[in-house]
Amino acid sequence: MLRPRIIPCLLVQDGGLVKTVKFKEPKYVGDPNNAVKIFNEKEADELIVLDIDATAQQREPNFRLISQFAAECRMPLCYGGGIRTAEQAKRIIGLGVEKVAISAAAVADPKLISRIAEEVGSQSVVVVLDVKSSLFGKQEVWTHNGRKNSGKSPVEAAQEAEVLGAGEIVINSIDRDGQMKGYDVALATRLRAATRLPMSVLGGAGSLQDIGELIAACGVVGASAGSFFVFKGAYRAVLISYPTQAQKDELIRTSLHQRVGAGTA
């Protein structure tokens, strides 16, 4: 059986590991290479690493840092941040990264998705959609760390990415970032129905139960989280954690069972 994936998402800024709240207040939480080592030991399903400064500062991807991650990482790695050309994407895949994530550049120039897919294959192209709600509840895709509104609806952007040759969509809720109060399951469910691409959801997970709710709603999905895997307790002490295989298996079994029970499978 193909399993839902449980995916730590690491944010990198100035070479350090940080965690944000609603894409703001980046708090230093440690050394990213050390975090990769810990997730190796815990046998995480996959890892997403996002350089949150590269695009905002119009920087190139940090190839030296990426090659360090790729060499260290014994699980599949998805890297994003600052990728604007197919050439850069190809170079990153060449360093031993399984998937490249593009966001702002893909929203501004959707054909970039096709150009990268031609170079590295669709299976390695991930489109990240950062979604924010307006005061009136309308959800739109934002870029540049949540500072620029593209005006596109997430469903429209996801369907466009699918047609152009993306291999996966990551839906990231800016409103829920760092809140640890649960995923935007309604948004995830809408997106799940809108495309036939693998999808991962990021933003809001604070417990295994939150991950279970997402799986119950969406089935085989990537459940990604930042804060949940790096903080512990009410005072947000930094402590990297990840469920054991037995915990994961049990969570997936019961959540998929709920899905079948609810008649939505």
Which residues form the catalytic set? 130
Instruction: Identify which of residues 174 and 251 has a Cβ nearer to another protein in the complex.
Output: 251
Closest distance between another protein and the C-beta of residue 75, in Å? 6
In whole angstroms, what is the distance from residue 49 CA to residue 39 CA?
12
225: helix, strand or coil? strand
Closest distance between another protein and the C-beta of residue 52, in Å? 24
100: helix, strand or coil? strand
39: helix, strand or coil? helix
Q: Which is it for strands 77-80 and 47-51: parallel, antiparallel or unpaired?
A: parallel
Instruction: Identify which of residues 13 and 195 has a Cβ nearer to another protein in the complex.
Output: 195
Closest distance between another protein and the C-beta of residue 158, in Å? 13
CB 197 within 8 A of CB 232: no
* Distance of alpha carbon 143 from the chain centroid: 14
Instruction: Identify which of residues 17 and 66 has a Cβ nearer to another protein in the complex.
Output: 66
Closest distance between another protein and the C-beta of residue 45, in Å? 6
CA triple 13-15-20, angle to 5 deg = 25
23: Cβ contacts below 8 Å, ≥ 6 apart: 130, 145, 146, 174, 177
For 124, the token pair is 């390695």
Q: Which residues bind another protein (CB under 8 A)?
A: 1-5, 40, 43, 45-46, 67, 70-77, 93-96, 98-99, 118-124, 167-168, 196-199, 220, 222
Closest distance between another protein and the C-beta of residue 137, in Å? 29
Instruction: Identify which of residues 96 and 151 has a Cβ nearer to another protein in the complex.
Output: 96
CB 23 within 8 A of CB 174: yes
In this structure, the chain runs to a length of 265
Instruction: Identify which of residues 180 and 218 has a Cβ nearer to another protein in the complex.
Output: 218
